[in-house]
Amino acid sequence: MNETTIAPPAVRPAAPRDAQRVPAPHLRFGQGPAMSTATPPEPTTSPAANPRESAITNTIQLQARGLCKSYYKAKLEIPVLRGVDLDLRAGEFLAIIGQSGSGKSTLLHLLGTLDQPDAGEVHFWDHRIDKLPARARDRLRNEEFGMIFQFYHLLPELSAVENVLMPLMIRHSWFSFRLHKKKYEARAKELLDLVGLGHRLKHKPREMSGGEMQRTAIARALISQPQVLLADEPTGNLDAETGAEILELLRKLNHEQKLSMIMVTHDQNLAAKADRIVSLAAGKVVSK
Amino acid sequence: MYKLLLCLRYLRTRWIALASIISVTLGVATMIVVNSVMSGFTNEMMVRLRGSFSDLMFESTGLEGFPDPDFHMAKLREICKDRTIGMTPTVHVPAMFAFQVNGQWINRQIVLVGIDENTAATASDMSQQTLHPKNRQQLSFNLHEGNYDVYDRNAPDQTQKRVDLETAGWGYRRLWGARFKHMEKLRAEQAAQQRAIEGQSGPMDPFARANPGLAAAPSDANPMNGEAAAPRDPFNPQGAPVNVFDPEKEQHTGIIVGKELVYHDGMKRFMAIPGDDVKISFPTAGQPPKISSDNFTVVDIHESKMSGHDSNFVFMPLRRLQEMRGMIDPTTGIGRVNAIQIRLRDDVDINALRAELAAAFPKAFYKIDTWQDKVGPLLAAVSMEKSVLNILLFLIIAVAGFGILAIFFMIVVEKTKDIGILKALGASRRGVLGIFLGYGLSLGIVGSGMGLLLGLVFVWNLNTIRDWLEYFTQQKVFDPSIYYFYKIPTIIEPFTVCWIVGGALLIAVMASILPAIRASNLHPVQALRYE
C-alpha cells in the first residue's frame, strides 16, 4: 500500500509529518513519536504494589477524544456515546465497565476502526485513524489490532489452525502465503500451544468447547503480532472458572508480551484484575 | 488466499448450492447432446446428399436438352480450370416404371437417368452405392452372373440377410427364362390344340365364330408361335431365321433401380431383383413429347440410403436413352444431353464458381445449381431447428442462473456473521466481493464441468443408451427405416462445447454478482451483531 494513502489528515498542522512517515510496506504506527500534548493520567493502582508495573509505559498509544455515536431506529435517533475521552498507554491493561446499553461495545468498535464516529477523533500513536480510507482501516485492523469477541466469532468451515491463520491469509496474496506457509503454520501452532490448545489443531469450532473456541480466537488475535488487543466481553459466554482461565491468559499476554489491552466487561470482579478501570454510563465516562 | 480457501470450503459444505447448479449441469449436458446429434445428423446427410448429387449440376431448362455435350464440357473446363475432379453428361427424364409381381403389374413414377458408364464415377458416388462389387469398381449395365451383396454393407451387424439377392444374376435369369419359355411353349401348344378343335367344329369363342377370319390373325402375329407364323411374315417373305429374344441367354438394356422402388417394406422382400425384366415408358425428345416404352433388365440395385433418391431414380446407359428418345443428330451422330454433373475439389468455393458459370452461360437456356441448392430447404430446416433448440436450451441455463441468484442471496444471509468476522479481521470490500464471485465461478465450473462430462458420456454411449431404451420400452426409439441410420450419428464440435460451457460459466458468475455486492456492502458491526 502506498504510504500517502495511509497518512491520516493532520490533527495538529504544526506537527512535523515527514519525520513521522513510516517506511512501506508495513504500516508500523508505533515508530512515530508520542503525542507531545497528551498528558497521561496517573494510574489508579500504585506502581509499587503492582507486579505488572513494568509493562506500563508513559506513552499514549491509543487515544479517543469527544467520541459521539448514535444509532437510528426508524428515524429515531438513539445516542449511544455522548463525548467519550479515553487514553490507553502502551502496555496498559484497561478495563471498560458499564451496564448493558452503556455504549462500551460501541466504544470498542470505534477504537478498533470497525465503525466510524459521528463526531470526535481516534488517534493511534499520533495518527488520526477514524477518518482513514476504508482500505487503510482494513489494514490497520488486520495488522495492528487483535480482536476478541464474546461469541468467539470463528469461521465454522475452518479448522482451528486455519482460523488462526485467517488474518495472515487476508494479508498475503495466495502466492506469498504459499511461499511462507510452513513458517506461518509453525507460528499458528506455537500460538495454539501458548493458549493451551496444541492438541486440537485440526478440530472444527463445532467440535470444541466454549473455552477452547475463545482460546482459538485469542490465538487468532495474536497471529499478526498486534500492538493492541481489543476484547469485547471475552468471558461473557463462559462459566466462571473458564472465564478466570481466559482472563489469566490475557493477563499473562499483557505481562509477558507487553501487549496493550482494552477489555470490555460488565463484571466488576473481572475488571478489578486490570491495571485501570474506566466506567461508562449513558454514553459518558463517569469515573477513571 | 482466504478467498480460494473459503470458496473451496463453501463448495464442499454447502450442498444446497450444488442443488442449484444441477439445472446448469442438465442444461449444459442437454445442449452438448443436442448439438452433437444435430451436427452428426447434418453431416451424415450432407455426405450422402453430396455423394448422390455431385457438386454442381449444369442443366438445360428443357427436356430435349442441349446439343454437343463435349463442346459444353470443354467450355466448362475452360472456366473451372483445375477446380474440377470430373464431369459427366447425363439425361434426366420423368418416366413410368412398371414390373410384374405374382401376375400383378406395379407402376411407379420415376426419374430415368441416362449415365455414361465410363465417366459417371468421376462425378458422383452413385456407382459406389450399387450392390455388386464389380459395379462399384467399374460401372456396367451388363447383368452379372451372381454374387450380389446379401448383407447391407453399412449395417453394424451383418445379421439381416437379404435372401432374395442370394440368387440374383444370370443364374436366376436362366431359371426364370427357362420357365418363361416353358410357359410360352405350353401356351403355344394350347393355342394349337384350340385351333385343331376349332378346325373341326368352328371357334368356341362366339366372337370368333361370327368372324372366322379375325380369330386366326392374333395367333399368327405372335412371335412365340414359332415356325407356323414365320412364312406369312410380310417383312420376311424368304423365311430367314428370325432373331427371337431368348431370356435364358440375353438381356434387354440394363438398368440400375433404386432400392425403394422394388423393396417391399412390409414383407421385407425385393419385388424385383437383378435378372428380372421390367417396362419403362418415357417421353421422347420431340415437341410435343410422345410416350415411348421399352423392355429393360434390372442389372443392379442402387442404395444411397436417402429415401428421396432410392425411390425416384433409375439409371440406364446414356447412349441407349439418347437413341430411344431420338436425341441423336442423324448427321453427326452426336447425342443431346440435358445435364452435366460436375465434381469439384473439396477446397473450391462452390458458390463463387456457380456465379462465374452463371455469368458465362445464358440464363434462359441453362440452370446451374449446387448440390446445396438442390437440398437447400432440407438443410435450412435442420439448421433452423438447431438454432431454435439452442436458444430454448440456453434459456434453461438462464433460468438456472436465477436459481443460483436466489440461493446465493440465502447463503449471503446465512453467512452474514462470517462476513462480519472477515471484515473485522481486515478483509476488504473487494475481498468479500471476490469470495462470492469466486464461489459463483466455482459453482459454475463444477456445474458445467459435470454437465460437460455427462453430455460427453451420453454422446459417446448414445447408441447403447438407445438400445437399452428400445429394450425396456419395446419401441423403436430411432427407427432406421426413416433415415436409414443404423447408428445415431454424432459429432462433438469443440468450438460449440467451449461456447456452451463458457456461456454457463458466465451466467453463474453474473447470477452471483448481486449477492456478492450485497455481501461486500455489509457493515461489519451490524454483520457481527446479526443473529
**Per-residue pLDDT tens digits for B28-77:** 999 999 999 888 888 887 877 777 777 888 888 877 788 888 888 888 88
User: Closest Cα of chain B to A214: distance in Å?
Assistant: 14
Q: What is the rounded CA–CA span in Å between residue A170 and residue B431?
A: 8
Angle in degrees, 0-180, between the axes of helices B376-414 and B429-460, rounded to the nearest 10: 140
Contact list, A158 vs chain B (CB under 8 Å): 5, 9
CA proximity to B436, closest of B413, B452, B462: B413
Identify how many contiguous H helices and E strands chain A contains and give both numbers.
10, 10
A215 in B contact zone (CB under 8 Å):
no
Quick one: closest CA in B to A157, which residue? B9
For the stretch A64-108, pLDDT in tens is 999 999 988 878 888 889 989 999 988 899 999 988 888 888 999
Produce one character per residue of A68-95: b if its CB has 16 or more CB atoms within 10 Å, e if not.
bbbeeeeeeeeebbeebebbbbbbbbbb
| A16-20, B240-244, B448-452, B478-482: range with highest mean pLDDT | B448-452
CA angle B472, B473, B478 (to 5 degrees): 110
Contact list, B420 vs chain A (CB under 8 Å): 153
Residue B140, φ and ψ in degrees, nearest 5: -150, 145
User: Closest Cα of chain B to A160: distance in Å?
Assistant: 14
* CB contact residues (below 8 A), chain A span 104-133, against chain B: 109, 112, 114-115
DSSP H helices, B361-493, are 371-374, 376-414, 416-424, 429-460, 462-473, 480-483
For the stretch B424-446, pLDDT in tens is 988 889 999 999 999 989 989 99
- Per the CB < 8 Å rule, is A155 touching B524? no
Higher pLDDT, B18 or B411: B411
For the stretch A189-239, pLDDT in tens is 989 998 888 888 889 999 998 889 988 999 999 998 899 999 988 888 888
CA proximity to A172, closest of A25, A31, A30, A29: A25
Interface residue ranges in chain B relative to chain A, Cβ cutoff 8 Å: 1-2, 4-6, 9-10, 13, 417-418, 420-429, 431, 523-525, 528
What is the sign of the dihedral through the CA atoms of A169, A170, A174 and A177? negative
User: Closest Cα of chain B to A35: distance in Å?
Assistant: 26
As a whole number, the mean pLDDT across chain B is: 84
- Per the CB < 8 Å rule, is B524 touching A115? yes
As a whole number, the mean pLDDT across chain A is: 79
- Per the CB < 8 Å rule, is B10 touching A134? no
Other Cβ atoms closer than 10 A to B370: 20
Cβ burial, residue A236 (10 Å; 0-12/13-18/19+):
middle
Q: What separation in angstroms does the CA of B185 have from each of A279, B216, B226, B230, B247?
A: 136, 18, 9, 16, 14
B201 pLDDT band, cuts 50/70/90, is low
A204 in B contact zone (CB under 8 Å):
no
Identity of the residue in B13, B424, B525 whose CB atom sits nearest the CB atom of A157: B13
Higher pLDDT, B97 or B249: B97
Interface test with A, best of B12, B14, B422, B425 (most A CBs within 10 A): B425
Q: What separation in angstroms does the CA of A132 have from each of A9, A28, A124, B241?
A: 8, 15, 11, 124
For the stretch B154-195, pLDDT in tens is 776 666 778 888 888 888 888 888 888 898 899 999 999 988
Identity of the residue in A114, A139, A173 whose CB atom sits nearest the CB atom of B525: A114
Higher pLDDT, A49 or B400: B400
Identity of the residue in A109, A115, A169 whose CB atom sits nearest the CB atom of B1: A169
- Per the CB < 8 Å rule, is A170 touching B423? no
| Rg of the Cα atoms in chain B | 36
pTM for this model (two decimals) = 0.69
Q: What separation in angstroms does the CA of A257 have from each of A91, A96, A223, A287?
A: 9, 21, 13, 28
Quick one: closest CA in B to A178, which residue? B1
Q: Which residues pair with B107 in a beta bridge?
A: B98
Q: How many CB pairs under 8 A join A and B?
A: 71
Identity of the residue in B421, B426, B523 whose CB atom sits nearest the CB atom of A153: B421
The grid cell for B71 is: 463442346
Q: Which residues pair with A263 in a beta bridge?
A: A95, A231
Q: What is the rounded CA–CA span in Å between residue B250 and residue B260?
A: 26
Please determine, for residue A21, whether its predicted confidence score (pLDDT) is greater than 60.
Answer: no
Cβ–Cβ under 8 Å, residues B426 and B530:
no
Place of cell 447425342: B335
Q: What is the rounded CA–CA span in Å between residue B58 and residue B72?
A: 10
CA angle B15, B17, B18 (to 5 degrees): 65
Contact list, A149 vs chain B (CB under 8 Å): 424, 528
Residue B232 is predicted with a pLDDT of 56
Cβ–Cβ under 8 Å, residues B457 and B464:
no
Cβ–Cβ under 8 Å, residues B404 and B21:
yes
Cβ–Cβ under 8 Å, residues B23 and B374:
no
> How many residues belong to chain B?
531
Q: What separation in angstroms does the CA of B93 have from each of A102, B62, B88, B124, B467?
A: 105, 10, 16, 18, 43
User: Closest Cα of chain A to B502: distance in Å?
Assistant: 25
Give the mean pLDDT of B102-110. Answer: 89
Give the mean pLDDT of B222-242. Answer: 56
Give residues with Cβ within 8 angstroms of B29, minimum separation 6. Answer: B450, B451, B452, B454, B455, B458
Contact list, B428 vs chain A (CB under 8 Å): 134-135, 138
Q: What is the rounded CA–CA span in Å between residue B111 and residue B90?
A: 12
CA proximity to B371, closest of B56, B18, B161, B5: B56
Query: Is B151 strand, coil or helix?
Result: coil
Interface test with A, best of B2, B3, B8, B9 (most A CBs within 10 A): B2
Cβ burial, residue B481 (10 Å; 0-12/13-18/19+):
exposed
User: Closest Cα of chain A to B30: distance in Å?
Assistant: 34
Residue A45 is predicted with a pLDDT of 44
Give the long-range contacts of residues A246-255, CB within 8 A, separation 24 or more: A246/A211, A246/A214, A246/A215, A246/A218, A247/A273, A249/A195, A249/A196, A249/A215, A249/A218, A250/A93, A250/A218, A251/A52, A251/A93, A253/A218, A253/A222, A253/A229, A254/A52, A254/A55, A254/A91, A254/A93, A254/A229, A255/A52, A255/A55
Q: What is the rounded CA–CA span in Å between residue B108 and residue B117?
A: 25
Cβ burial, residue A4 (10 Å; 0-12/13-18/19+):
exposed
Contact list, B5 vs chain A (CB under 8 Å): 158, 162, 169
Residue B503 is predicted with a pLDDT of 92
DSSP A205: G
A2 in B contact zone (CB under 8 Å):
no
- Per the CB < 8 Å rule, is A170 touching B427? yes
Place of cell 491509543: A62
Contact list, B424 vs chain A (CB under 8 Å): 112, 114, 141, 147, 149, 153
